[in-house]
Amino acid sequence: MTAAAVDTPTVAAGRMPEFRYGIVMMIILALVIFEIVAPDADWARAVLVALAGGALTVAVATSRERASIRRQRARVVGGVSFLVALGIATGVLSAAVTFAVVTVLIAAIPVTLVGGLLRMVREQGVHIQAVAGALAIYLLGGLLFATVIAFVAHVQNGAYFIQGSHVSNGDRVYYSFTVLTTTGFGDYTAAHPVGHALAVLEMLTGQLYLVTVIGVMIGHYVSRRK
């Protein structure tokens, strides 16, 4: 029996995940844009949960676990996300619950992605799906920093920004990505040392990630294409 014949049942049995990190990246990009433009309404918060839950569901479905475990976990994540989104859309669950759920979902996505990415790169090398997965983690970093900013703004005394306290969640996400990419338009500026420290940490994180992880992966991908 040939090696190909031996490997065929393994693939057919679904033990190896089909990596769909491009889909995860597109969902997360849609989540970023929607967070910036979405109004403060129950239906918008429900959409945020649905997008974050959808991204996590796809990430779980392409994780490094066995097919049966992946399917079971994806169903659980998808089902819970749907029920929470429904509860938010109908006004049963509050904005505070939305904040907590979205934070948990966004934090869980990179944790889920990392294992699958490492396995894929180890077994298949760097290709476009690996680059998409790494970029998805980069986008999630901006969202996570926006979440930290929202929490600090809630617990600290005084406004987080010099420009005032009437800042929406979309404004915080917008500010987070201008810091992450070191664009720094200056229309929002942290007012206190904690905010300054967070800005420096986010700038360093964004630049180091681009130079090391993304830069190295793009280099390997280009080398493979030659």
Residue 220 has pLDDT above 60, yes or no: yes
Q: Helix, strand, coil shares of the chain as percentages rounded to 5?
A: 75, 0, 20
Task: Express each pLDDT in 180-190 by its tens digit.
Answer: 999 989 899 99
Average pLDDT over residues 36-61: 93
Q: What Å distances lie between residue 32 and 140, 214, 217, 221, 226, CA to CA?
A: 9, 19, 23, 26, 34
At 205, is the pLDDT very low, low, confident or very high (cuts 50, 70, 90)? Answer: very high
Task: Measure the N-to-C terminal CA separation of the chain; round to a whole number of Å.
Answer: 34
Burial of 203 (0-12, 13-18, 19+ CB in 10 A): middle
Long-range contacts of 23-26 (CB under 8 A, 24+ apart): 23/58, 24/55, 24/58, 24/59, 24/62, 24/109, 24/113, 24/132, 24/133, 24/136, 25/132, 25/133, 25/135, 25/136, 25/139
Question: How many Cα atoms occupy the beta-carbon half-sphere of 136 within 13 Å?
Answer: 33
pLDDT tens across 106-154, in order? 999 999 998 888 888 888 888 898 999 999 999 999 999 999 999 999 8
Place of tokens 């406004």: 159
- Name the average pLDDT for the chain: 88
In whole angstroms, give the CA distance from residue 225 to residue 20: 20
Six-digit token string for 152: 């600090």
pLDDT for the residue numbered 18: 64
